[in-house]
A and B are shown apart, each in its own frame.
Chain A
Amino acid sequence: MDDSKRLVTMANQIAAFFKPYAEEDAIKGTYDHLIQFWDPRMRVKMIAHVEAGGDGLSPIALAAAKLLKKPASAA
Chain B
Amino acid sequence: MLWNAQEIDLFLKEKAYIDTVVIPLLPVSISDGTRQEAEQAEFISLLTAMLERQFKGRMLLIPAFTYMTSRDHRAKIEELKSWCDELSAQGFAHTVCITSDTSWKGHEEELDANIIWMPSIPLHHMDDKYKRKIVDDQVNQLIKIIVQKWQSA
Verify that A and B bind, or say they do not: no
